[in-house]
Chain A
Amino acid sequence: MRLITYCFLLLSFTACVKDKPTMVPKETIHLSVAKKVFIINEGGLNDNKASISLFDPGTNQVVENYYGAQNNNQVLGSIAQSLTYFQSNYYIVINNSNKVVVCDYQFKKTGQISGLMSPRYFLPVSNQKAYVSDLYANQIHIIDLGTNTKTGSIACPGWTEQMVLLYNKVFVCNYRKDYLYVINATTNLISDSIPVGKNAGSLVIDRFDNLWVLSSGESTNAVPAKLSKIDPISHNILKTYTFQLNESPNSLCLNKGKDSIYFINKNIYRMRVSDSDLPTTPFVVAGSKVFYGLGVNPTNYNIYVADAVDYVQKSNVFIYNTSGELTYNFKAGINANGFYFES
């Protein structure tokens, strides 16, 4: 009995693993003069762990929470969606915190755009004005860049997503509609809509000034994904590439020369803008990796791919060269979804 009692008391108050986690000491990082890469890390829903990582290709070093490091460990918010650089300012769209955080060229916070519902992407349309797309607001927000305030809106029902500006026209993807919307950047009025299919989320402009729009389709309703090539002047669809029903491509990107496009379709695919068919052979095979974000460095053609792993740990970022060979990988924040390349 005594033995049992001793064992019991011993096990009541002792255990094998120290409970308090060990803080990893921060390394001193010396940045090179190389053009930096910013990684947008969503964080988890409601966990206030949105962050921006900085990768220095010159030294292969990473600053994990660059915004926090430059702003006295301030919290950025919940779900960093996108990052845009314009006129020496960074605009970080924080989706679930309903705001756009404005930073100077050193990433120090200088302002905040509030009053937004669920912002997604930020597009400057002039030196004084920007548009912000929104998940739930059923409108595009109009922002005064001088005061960083919302000054108006453009009614646009649905989940508006990525936008581009070309010939004073803003082309807006809309996940909830079958159309790409065209807005006159001067009058702020919708002037046209182009049928591109279900779940259009990303778009780019190639070297010939053609628009490429990627719609992910809706496999539940047997609607296939489509890649549409569009004349931005006439708004005519020049060519449509149709995917298999079970495919759901996303994250359309362009290379430096704007003559090749890349997208995620479980694996990474690459095709020339002159190709007549969709590629059938992956450029990079995902294997057990889960590709969540894609970017192509405009300075050196390198392809950056983010792997969200399991949503609840630091993401992996893989760098591939133009031959599809892995050249480097590093860790970024939770749920890295995209990149901004300094140019």
Chain B
Amino acid sequence: MNNRIYNCLRAEPLSPSNKCLITFALLLFAQISVAQDTTKLIEIEVTAIRQSTSFQKTIKIDSIDLANQSNRNLGELLANHTTIFIKNYGNGALGTTSFRGGSANQTAILWEGLNIKNSMLGQTDLSLLPLALFNSVQIDYGGGSALWGSDAMGGSIHLSGSNKQLKQGLSLITQLGSSSLNAMNAFTGFSYAAKKLSTETKIYLNQNKNQFKYIDTNLSKEPITIKHAAYNNFGFMQNVNYAIHPNHQIKLSLWFNSFDRQLPNFSQTFKSKQYQYDRNTKLITQHHYFKSRIAANTKLAYFGDVLNYIDSIAGIYSYSRVENLVIDHENKFQINKRSRFQSGFNLSGSKAITKNYEDSERLLRMGLYMMYSYNWLDNLTTSAVIRYEVTNLTKIPVTGNLNLSYQLTKRCFLKLNAANVFRQPSLNELFWLPGGNRNLLPENGNVFDGEIRYQKNHSNLAFDISLAAYHKIINNWILWLPGPNGNPSPKNIQQVFSRGTETSTKLTYQLKSLKVGMQFLTHYCLSTITKQDQDYTNSLNKQLIYTPRYTGNFNLFVQFKSASLQMNNQYVGYRFTSSDNSGWLNPYYVSSIRLNYQFILGKESNVNLFAASQNLFNSNYHIVENRPMPLRYFEFGLSINYYKPKTNIKS
């Protein structure tokens, strides 16, 4: 495969005050002229060594869906295109996952194969992950701790910001957008690729006054405009690939993100003075080696997260900084036609600085994994993974996976996965003062899951159906309980049993210039507390809070010539708000619609106009109690895509 260029530069509507966008564009156009001097280089291709797609249920988000939602964040994408429940505290506010009945800490979110959670919090805020940056979003369902380490208990989400489909040449994307919430967003991306070198630059700016309306039914039936909920997100990502030899490639990825937000308090009496400032810096350097039956990848990474929370009324000025240094190595050896061996290690050190710890606390970890796959018949493959991990704080159990992949018929596939999984307690759970508990054990458990899938193409019609089921028991589940003087303290308190089914139906029909597609997803999840080390608790055998039993999505896509229409519908069932299931939130159903029209400017250059309505049917809903979501609002914008093939570039 050729190393092809991507380019994405999207800038968005700038209000007159936002002259910085113009600066982006100027900078990028300046880069084009520089890039044109690049000479002919050799071809390169690199694929990830660790792959769980062969034995776990996997969804890869369609590139059209990614492009259509590039002004949104990862949480919004997952809510629209998967049945993972996203616990969203409001537009632009904290968003976390509940994956197959797990907690927010039990999903591993990886960028370029490395876990990017905030080590203090033990989780990733999905609102900090703008989709404009990512060319690939892949979701692996089921236990995967042996491969991906801590957190991959319910599943893992893999993000990649580099485009493996880059075309040789130059490309540029500029996107501008605005919304009726008094928001504007701009994205600009530039890429250049030749045989040996490729570079991608992405810059984004999202300013949102976030003046959405909601209805507080306790006060009135009239909509209220939310106050003090604005946010401002800015950042950039730079990827550079260089093939130093036909078998060696180095890659550098740098990502800086700045997210400032106001936090509303919904008080009718006084205005909130709460703010949160996030600064995230991530740098990964990689070396790939590949030759006939061997492939190896080594990464050196630095992740720094600063979280500054201010509540001037409460007198809270909380500053925390956590830094992670990671060395990760993996290699693959194809022993013969049927068997393959993989192994790798991960060394990481996390250091947190906050006045809420007794000292600058450190977490040092070393993980080692090995995987062996054997292809018994052409249609049957089994594999086994084992992982040994040690830390300076917590004793981690040995984990592993046993997998089977079987092609039942020409079009029918079966995947089975049995796994031990674990989660290392977060730094806050261990050290936060007051309340942190240094004696916490890791959460651990067993997961069994499988998927059967049937795919068929018939004339102009293609369909793909999948049925998955899972069974997961997690022990030593950590809960924050009331501690001395009312201060909460985390404890390994309960066992949770999650089980459920997922279905997926996709149909696509194409006739000449008309293309119609639909996707129907369902998820049924029972996640109940089966053991609790407290007397007089009423949560035994009750559904976990904020874990809907039923979720469903129905998405529709119609394209005719240059025009396309996409509609997303999401249903989320009852969510309990109390662990004894005595309080709950009603189900909600939300829809969005988006219209695109593309003007072709040249062979591979075009201008796209779009208009969208979020919450089309004006549903007044809360995902989290007393955290209202916006009533209907509108978005519109344009994107310009420009591509210049390599052959046209002067050399």
Residues of A within 8 A of B (CB): 1, 4-5, 7-8, 11-12, 15-17, 19-21, 24, 44, 46-49, 75, 78, 96-99, 114-118, 135-136, 176, 199, 216, 219-220, 247-250, 265-266, 287-290, 292, 307-314, 316, 329, 331, 334, 337
Taking CB atoms, residues of chain B closer than 8 Å to A308 are: 482
How far, in Å, is B274 (CB) from chain A's closest CB?
A: 12
Taking CB atoms, residues of chain A closer than 8 Å to B536 are: 289, 307, 309, 316, 329
Residue B218 CB within 8 A of the other chain = yes
**Assuming the A-B contacts A290-B482, A292-B486, A310-B579, are A17 and B526 also in contact, with contact meaning beta carbons closer than 8 angstroms in the complex?**
yes
Which of A15, A17, A287, A289 counts the most B-chain CB atoms under 10 A from its CB?
A15
Partner pick for A310 among B315, B434, B537, B581, CB 8 A cutoff: B537
Residue B266 CB within 8 A of the other chain = yes
Nearest-CB residue, chain B, relative to A45: B626
Taking CB atoms, residues of chain B closer than 8 Å to A176 are: 315
Residue B433 CB within 8 A of the other chain = yes
How far, in Å, is B79 (CB) from chain A's closest CB?
A: 19
Which of A135, A219, A290, A310 counts the most B-chain CB atoms under 10 A from its CB?
A310
Tell me if A313 and B573 are in contact (CB < 8 A). no
Tell me if A21 and B485 are in contact (CB < 8 A). no
List the 5 closest pairs (A to B, CB-CB), nearest first: A313-B580, A248-B484, A98-B269, A248-B485, A15-B524
**Assuming the A-B contacts A98-B270, A248-B485, are A310 and B218 also in contact, with contact meaning beta carbons closer than 8 angstroms in the complex?**
no
A114→B268 CA distance, assembly (Å): 10
Tell me if B526 and A16 are in contact (CB < 8 A). yes
Taking CB atoms, residues of chain B closer than 8 Å to A313 are: 537-539, 578-580, 582
**Assuming the A-B contacts A21-B576, A289-B536, A309-B534, are A314 and B582 also in contact, with contact meaning beta carbons closer than 8 angstroms in the complex?**
yes
Interface residues of B in 519-540 (CB under 8 A from A): 520, 522, 524, 526, 533-539
Taking CB atoms, residues of chain A closer than 8 Å to B218 are: 48, 75
By DSSP majority rule, is chain A's interface helix, strand, loop, or mixed?
loop
Taking CB atoms, residues of chain A closer than 8 Å to B267 are: 96-98
**Assuming the A-B contacts A219-B434, A220-B433, A220-B434, are A15 and B549 also in contact, with contact meaning beta carbons closer than 8 angstroms in the complex?**
yes
**Assuming the A-B contacts A1-B409, A311-B481, A311-B482, are A21 and B625 also in contact, with contact meaning beta carbons closer than 8 angstroms in the complex?**
no
Residues of B within 8 A of A (CB): 218, 266-267, 269-270, 313-315, 358, 409, 412, 433-434, 452, 454, 465, 467, 479-488, 493, 501, 503, 505, 520, 522, 524, 526, 533-539, 545, 549-550, 573-574, 576-584, 587, 625-627
Partner pick for B501 among A11, A114, A266, A316, CB 8 A cutoff: A11
Nearest-CB residue, chain B, relative to A331: B538
Partner pick for B578 among A11, A19, A312, A337, CB 8 A cutoff: A312
Partner pick for B315 among A4, A136, A329, CB 8 A cutoff: A136
Partner pick for B358 among A4, A17, A220, A289, CB 8 A cutoff: A220
Which of B479, B480, B482 counts the most A-chain CB atoms under 10 A from its CB?
B482
**Assuming the A-B contacts A289-B536, A309-B534, are A8 and B465 also in contact, with contact meaning beta carbons closer than 8 angstroms in the complex?**
yes
Tell me if B534 and A288 are in contact (CB < 8 A). yes
**Assuming the A-B contacts A46-B626, A98-B269, are A310 and B485 also in contact, with contact meaning beta carbons closer than 8 angstroms in the complex?**
no
Taking CB atoms, residues of chain B closer than 8 Å to A4 are: 412, 452, 454, 467
Q: Can you name 11 A-B pairs with beta carbons within 8 Å?
A: A5-B454, A8-B503, A11-B467, A20-B574, A98-B267, A117-B269, A292-B486, A312-B577, A312-B578, A314-B538, A314-B580
